[in-house]
Amino acid sequence: MKKSKGRHQHPILVAVDFSDDSEAALLWAIRHADNMKAGIALLHVVHEPGDQPGFYKKDDKDLMRPLADIARKMMRKFLKSVGKKAPKNKALRRLDSLQVSGVPAKRIVEVAEKLNARLIVVGTQGRSEIASLIIGSTAEQVVRLSPIPVVTVKSAQKKKKK
């Protein structure tokens, strides 16, 4: 597990996949972190989803790069985008950024336990009930597996697919 800065005691763990819902989850967490007197641990689990091959390899330059390197690049871009939406937020400037590999739901809960996190915040893509029953979303799996509270956040606006 790689981290970028000093560890906060009992942080809010925000798990992201760089989606609009993840952005909404991070924005929710940074708005509440100061009130909770908590730091933020921002986590991305590197996992090439079977239903989205090529998720990390966006262009020809990325074809030979390890997924972890591409994920770090995506994290920087994600944080820059969120920073523009909350430029004065202290919690955003102090967060710890972590990256691990594995199956997302399981690794999110493991990292939360290792960090002694007080709360897990994840974005939810809002699949239909049937799709969730068949495959189950990462957010739903985290809710089921986690021994600590989990907040799921949905983005207010969905970008239209091209």
pLDDT digits (tens, 9 = 90+) for 111-145: 999 999 999 999 987 555 554 454 458 899 999 99
- pLDDT one-digit tens code per residue, 41-57: 999 999 876 656 667 76
**H or E, element range at 111:** helix 104-115
pTM summary value: 0.82
How far does Cα 13 stand from its chain's mean position? Answer: 8
CA atoms within 13 A on the CB side of 39: 18
CATH topology of domain 2-153: Rossmann fold (3.40.50)
Q: In the chain, what are the domain boundaries?
A: 2-153
